[in-house]
């Protein structure tokens, strides 16, 4: 058994015992109450599942195994070619629950390189899509095509016992994560670079190799990829991509089915697609101002016009957060250091100043502050990646780290099939009013 899997193996039985005892001794403890309005508001604030990898605090933002993003960007091991934390490290932390050493992250880089073998039929699946198909459609379909090699599916068909489900799920999860940069860069090069594909460089870390296969080999872009793939990796269990993935996985659907379901949720404009919507919106704003960066007053008029048209301001607001997203701040810090004079960064800052008071004045927006998607696109544009309808795929590649860690743990502790009950309005009125 490889070292990472061995380490995980040692963590599993104590966790199983902890949960069994917790439920046995405290099973009737009430952990929340459900208000009628929550039934009609997308289950906001209802505690309804367990996710061990990370927890979102409305004010402090995301914490991974108890560590804030700021802390982790300092504490996680870096590449020897840069200052940014490696996403291999956040994966290790989510999976094992401990901070990794430099040796741990290089073990994971090597493991993913070793496992990055994408069968030819997956490329053929991608090739069969017309170029007009959105990159997320092609991404999700390619993940499903990869399912053919699922170890879990085979183990299940062979009658493996429940306590061993996690072992083949681990294999699937690691293989899937390893293959995603190849799949994503294949889609990118097919759609935008005349199908001129670039072979992996097995000496690089996961992010730098991904950047390389996309066609961006300069150090700054590789650093951006490390940051990008780290900060988008997980946002507890209740967001649409995590929850969709969790739900589908709970039916013992394998890692590929489960992750693809998560990606279909991420592809919605209120979730991950917001990163492309932000760029579209910013570029249209510039275009409508004759190609110039609009002044603060002009931005304000533009924001109000967007709202009056009945549209949302992409990149602002959140269902849980009630302050500026620390993932936004991490990207802002990167921009301040590396591209502070870039005109679109100046625009993003202007939008940051202008939007919150306008959203606050509507009296209905619960969080007027920017989220992760408000910033990510312009960093990519700066380094020449202008094909913004691809940006959600990058988010998806990163999200695999969280969703696959979650799935492995769900299998390890034997999470049951998810099956809440639904009501009808008639029953709500009859039984509760």
- In angstroms, the CA 38 to CA 243 distance is 17
The residues assigned a catalytic role are 271, 318, 373
Instruction: Output the CA torsion sign for 62, 266, 337, 230.
Output: positive
Q: How far is the CB of 212 from ligand CMX (least distance, A)?
A: 26
Q: How many CB atoms lie within 10 A of CB 9?
A: 14
Q: How far is CA 72 from CA 11, 89, 118, 227, 283, in A?
A: 22, 9, 31, 11, 33
Q: How far is residue 81's CA from residue 204's CA, in Å, rounded to a whole number?
A: 10
CA separation for the pair 22, 27 (Å, rounded): 7
Three-class secondary structure of residue 57 per DSSP: strand
Min dist. Cβ of residue 348 to ligand CMX (A): 14
Q: Could you write out the DSSP letters of every residue in 367-419?
A: --SB-THHHHHHHHHHTT---GGGHHHHHHHHHHHHHHHHHHHHHHTTPPPP-
Alpha-carbon distance 343 to 352, whole Å? 14
Token pair recorded at residue 415: 């999470």
In angstroms, what is the minimal distance from the CB of 259 to ligand CMX? 17
Token pair of 329 as six digits: 């701040």
Residue among 239 and 400 whose Cβ is closer to ligand CMX: 239
Residue 370: CB minimum distance to ligand CMX, A: 8
**Structure tokens of 430?**
């009859």
In the complex with ligand CMX, the residue whose CB is nearer, 122 or 279, is 279
Q: Where on the chain is the footprint of ligand CMX (CB under 6 A)?
A: 239, 270-272, 274, 307, 312-319, 359, 364-367, 371-373
**DSSP reduced 3-state for 78:** strand
Query: CA 60 → CA 57, 97, 322, 324, distances in Å?
Result: 5, 20, 9, 9
Minimum CB distance to ligand CMX smaller for 176 or for 355: 355
Q: Which residue has the CB atom at the shortest distance from ligand CMX?
A: 317
Q: Whole-number minimum distance, CB 60 to ligand CMX, in Å?
A: 17
Cβ proximity to ligand CMX: between 214 and 274 the closer is 274
Task: Give the CA dihedral 327, 329, 331, 333, nearest 10 degrees.
Answer: -150
> Which residues are CB-contacts of 52 (< 8 A; sequence separation ≥ 6)?
15, 65, 97, 406, 409
Q: What share of the chain is helix, strand, coil (3-state, %, to 5)?
A: 60, 5, 35
Q: Which is nearer to ligand CMX, 313 or 335 (CB)?
A: 313
CB of 43 to ligand CMX, least distance (A): 11
For the beta carbon of residue 230, count every other beta carbon within 10 angstroms. Answer: 27
The nearer residue to ligand CMX, 125 or 371, going by C-beta atoms, is 371
Residue with smaller CB distance to ligand CMX, 167 or 325: 325
Nearest to 299 by CA among 352, 254, 253: 352
User: For residues 61 and 97, which CB has a smaller minimum distance to ligand CMX in the complex?
Assistant: 61
């Amino acid at each position: 058994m490889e070292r990472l899997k061995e380490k995980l193996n040692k963590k599993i039985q104590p966790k199983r015992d902890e949960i069994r005892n917790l439920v046995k001794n405290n099973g009737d403890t009430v952990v929340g109450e459900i208000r009628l309005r929550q039934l009609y508001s997308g289950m906001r604030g209802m505690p309804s599942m367990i996710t061990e990898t990370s927890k979102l605090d409305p004010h402090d933002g995301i914490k991974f195994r108890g560590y804030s993003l700021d802390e982790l960007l300092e504490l996680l091991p870096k590449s020897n070619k840069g200052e940014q934390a490696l996403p291999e490290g956040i994966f290790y932390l989510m999976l094992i629950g401990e901070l990794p050493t430099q040796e741990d992250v290089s073990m994971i880089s090597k493991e993913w390189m070793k496992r990055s073998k994408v069968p030819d039929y997956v490329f053929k699946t991608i090739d069969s899509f017309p170029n007009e198909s959105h990159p997320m459609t092609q991404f999700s379909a390619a993940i499903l095509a990869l399912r053919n090699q699922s170890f879990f599916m085979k183990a299940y068909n062979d009658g493996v016992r429940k306590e061993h489900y996690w072992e083949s799920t681990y294999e699937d999860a690691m293989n899937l994560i390893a293959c995603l940069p190849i799949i994503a860069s294949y889609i990118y090069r097919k759609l935008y670079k005349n199908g001129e594909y670039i072979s992996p460089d097995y000496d690089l870390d996961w992010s730098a190799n991904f950047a390389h296969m996309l066609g961006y080999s300069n150090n700054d872009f590789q650093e951006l990829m490390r940051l990008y793939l780290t900060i988008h990796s997980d946002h507890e269990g209740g967001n649409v991509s995590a929850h969709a993935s969790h739900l589908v996985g709970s039916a013992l659907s394998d890692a590929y089915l489960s992750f693809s379901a998560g990606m279909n949720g991420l592809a919605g404009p209120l979730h991950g697609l917001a990163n492309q919507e932000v760029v579209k919106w910013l570029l249209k704003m510039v275009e409508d101002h004759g190609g110039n960066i609009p002044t603060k007053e002009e931005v304000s008029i533009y924001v109000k016009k967007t709202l009056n048209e009945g549209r949302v301001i992409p990149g602002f607001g959140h269902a849980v957060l009630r302050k500026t997203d620390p993932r936004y701040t991490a990207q802002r810090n990167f921009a301040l250091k590396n591209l502070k004079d870039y005109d679109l960064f100046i625009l993003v800052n202007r939008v940051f100043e202008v939007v919150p008071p306008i959203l606050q004045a509507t009296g209905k927006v619960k969080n007027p502050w920017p989220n992760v998607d408000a910033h990510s696109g312009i960093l990519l544009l700066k380094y020449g990646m202008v094909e913004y309808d691809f940006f959600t795929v990058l988010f998806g590649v990163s999200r695999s780290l969280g969703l696959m860690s979650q799935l492995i743990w769900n299998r390890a502790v034997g999470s049951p099939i998810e099956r809440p009950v639904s009501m009808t309005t008639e029953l709500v009125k009859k039984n509760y009013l």
